[in-house]
């Protein structure tokens, strides 16, 4: 029993499944906000940028704010328009969060195992562990994000399924490497989950020191606060990444952006510096709700998995004990002879 008590409460895949399930549930609930923030972030003011575009593009709608975008999307595409690309998005969310939480658990466990004096990682170390985990996760999951962003920004009549959109990206841009468009920006953006989960751990230790299992509202509060902090700090990079992965604006005449610096320069030239923060309202609202629901669900699922693993280990121990008793019972008459 002593050896068993030293076992980790969950293997890395257990934390990964809990995180992925929480992320899928949370993102499914607030998916319309994802559509809105994406379209707000890719649009460019017509007054300066649309002059060089193709006049035969009536689908290029301009949205004033979150509520205006929702109303116009529903009017043009129906309620289903608010869920365009949802399947690909949830696949991406599940794979990204599974990969992130898996590698985060592995990397954090390795770090703690090499410490001579057991202690909680510092804020800098926590951020570094999150960044490494996020970078590994992005390498495997960015193609889904590229395809989903393309689906979310395509006009209704041009929208295709997940596979067909992926083929279109491969055929129309840089071959298979087009599926990794925006990788550099994504690798830079690993600071977002790094800040989020670093802040979450730090806030948890500060506000609820020594508490192993948080109440749902406590996890929701910490998740929302940490994600809001990360979003405000990285919003210009988020806008640039979306610009890289979506179709080029009309003023570019079909010429795709090559780097997130080029996207940012284009936005500043046509709309000013503050445009780097466009779509921040739905971005923060989505992040606040998603991260809150994610951490709330993740904490509950981790607890469920811990109880399940404990039950399985107990059943295994009881079965081994029965086998040992049966073996001993069979051996006793032989010993008596």
Over pLDDT 70: what percentage of the chain? 87
* Three-state secondary-structure class, residue 254: coil
Confidence tier at 169 by pLDDT (50, 70, 90): confident
Q: What local confidence, expressed as pLDDT, does residue 296 receive?
A: 74
41 CA to centre of own chain? 18
Residue partners of 87: CB distance under 8 A and separation at least 6 = 162
Based on its alpha-carbon atoms, the radius of gyration of the chain, rounded to whole angstroms, reads 24
Alpha carbon distances (Å) from 300 to 95, 216, 290: 20, 8, 15
Q: What local confidence, expressed as pLDDT, does residue 318 receive?
A: 82
Confidence tier at 241 by pLDDT (50, 70, 90): confident
Over pLDDT 90: what percentage of the chain? 0
Q: Is the pLDDT of residue 232 over 80?
A: yes
Q: Which of 92-106, 186-200, 309-323 has the least mean pLDDT?
A: 186-200
- Long-range contact set of residues 128-133: C-beta below 8 Å, sequence gap at least 24: 128/194, 129/104, 129/194, 130/104, 130/190, 130/193, 130/194, 130/195, 130/196, 130/197, 130/198, 131/190, 131/191, 131/194, 132/103, 132/107, 133/100, 133/101, 133/103, 133/104, 133/107, 133/190, 133/193
pLDDT, tens digit (0-9, with 9 covering 90-100), for 258-279: 777 888 888 888 888 888 888 8
Tokens read off for 235 = 């919003």
CATH 3.90.230.10 applies to domain 9-336: no
The pLDDT of 114-136, averaged and rounded, is 75
């Amino acid at each position: 029993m002593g050896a068993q008590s030293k076992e980790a409460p969950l293997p890395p895949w257990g934390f990964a499944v809990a995180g992925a399930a929480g992320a899928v549930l949370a993102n499914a609930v607030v998916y319309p906000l994802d559509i809105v923030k994406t379209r707000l972030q890719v649009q460019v003011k017509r007054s300066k940028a649309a002059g060089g575009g193709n006049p035969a593009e009536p689908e290029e709608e301009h949205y004033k704010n979150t509520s205006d975008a929702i109303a116009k999307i529903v009017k043009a595409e129906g309620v289903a328009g608010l869920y365009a690309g949802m399947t690909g998005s949830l696949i991406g969310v599940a794979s990204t969060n599974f990969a992130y939480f898996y590698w985060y658990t592995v990397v954090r466990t390795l770090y703690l195992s090499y410490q001579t004096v057991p202690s909680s990682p510092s804020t800098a170390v926590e951020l570094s562990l999150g960044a490494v985990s996020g970078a590994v996760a992005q390498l495997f999951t960015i193609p889904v994000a590229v395809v989903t962003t393309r689906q979310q920004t395509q006009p209704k009549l041009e929208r295709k399924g997940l596979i067909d959109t992926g083929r279109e990206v491969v055929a129309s841009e840089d071959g298979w490497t087009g599926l990794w468009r925006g990788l550099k920006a994504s690798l830079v953006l690993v600071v977002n989950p790094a800040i989020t989960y670093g802040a979450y751990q730090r806030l948890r230790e500060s506000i609820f020191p020594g508490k192993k299992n948080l109440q749902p509202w406590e996890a929701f509060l910490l998740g929302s606060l940490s994600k809001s902090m990360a979003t405000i700090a990285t919003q210009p990079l988020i806008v640039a990444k979306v610009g890289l992965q979506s179709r080029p604006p009309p003023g570019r005449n079909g010429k795709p952006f090559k780097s997130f610096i080029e996207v940012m320069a284009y936005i500043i030239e046509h709309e000013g510096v503050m445009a780097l923060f466009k779509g921040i309202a739905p971005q923060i609202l989505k992040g606040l709700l998603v991260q809150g629901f994610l951490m709330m669900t993740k904490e509950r699922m981790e607890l469920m998995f811990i109880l399940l693993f404990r039950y399985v280990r107990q059943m295994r121990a009881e079965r081994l004990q029965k086998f040992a008793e049966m073996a001993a019972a069979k051996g006793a008459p032989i010993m008596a002879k």
